[in-house]
């Protein structure tokens, strides 16, 4: 799993390290410790921390990416957010673990749409 972390400007090294650790630990926790597993295949793509570490937005993709599966997977993760937050706090040994917010990573969908548009334009050009 590739790890990319969003930051505004030049994020301090500690913030990047904490985001990477949260990303890594959450991926394992979701895969192995959730009793109520998300119905779709969830891949974490990025973790974005607020400067005060109070909130972590966890970006993800879900396969299959139909609306029902994505919404059900998000609902499952949001219900488990408190449990996951507690486990993250203990695993990372940080005083206050950030509140977890889950969001669908739209960049993957935008990339697929761009690929489709490029293929369509290439096809039109080839037909001319």
* Positive or negative torsion for Cα 12, 18, 24, 27: negative
Class of domain 13-127: alpha beta
Question: Cα(22)–Cα(91) distance, rounded to whole angstroms?
Answer: 9
Calculate mean pLDDT across residues 13-28.
Answer: 94
Instruction: Indicate if the pLDDT at residue 4 is higher than 80.
Output: no
Greater model confidence, 90 or 94: 90
pLDDT for 11: 59
Instruction: Indicate if the pLDDT at residue 1 is higher than 50.
Output: no
Retrieve residue 32's tokens.
């192995």
Instruction: Indicate if the pLDDT at residue 114 is higher than 80.
Output: yes
Percent of the chain at pLDDT > 90 equals 66
Residue partners of 21: CB distance under 8 A and separation at least 6: 92
Q: How confident is the prediction for the chain on average, in pLDDT?
A: 89
């Amino acid at each position: 799993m590739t790890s990319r972390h969003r930051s505004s400007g030049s994020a301090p090294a500690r913030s990047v390290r904490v985001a990477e650790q949260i990303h890594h630990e959450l991926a394992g926790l979701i895969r192995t410790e959730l009793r109520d597993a998300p119905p779709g295949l969830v891949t974490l793509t990025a973790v974005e921390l607020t400067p005060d570490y109070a909130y972590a937005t966890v970006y993800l993709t879900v396969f299959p990416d139909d609306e029902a599966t994505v919404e059900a997977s998000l609902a499952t993760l949001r219900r488990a957010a408190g449990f996951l937050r507690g486990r993250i706090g203990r695993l990372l040994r940080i005083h206050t673990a950030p509140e977890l917010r889950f969001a669908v990573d739209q960049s993957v969908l935008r990339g697929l749409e761009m690929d489709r548009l490029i293929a369509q334009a290439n096809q039109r050009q080839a037909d001319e």
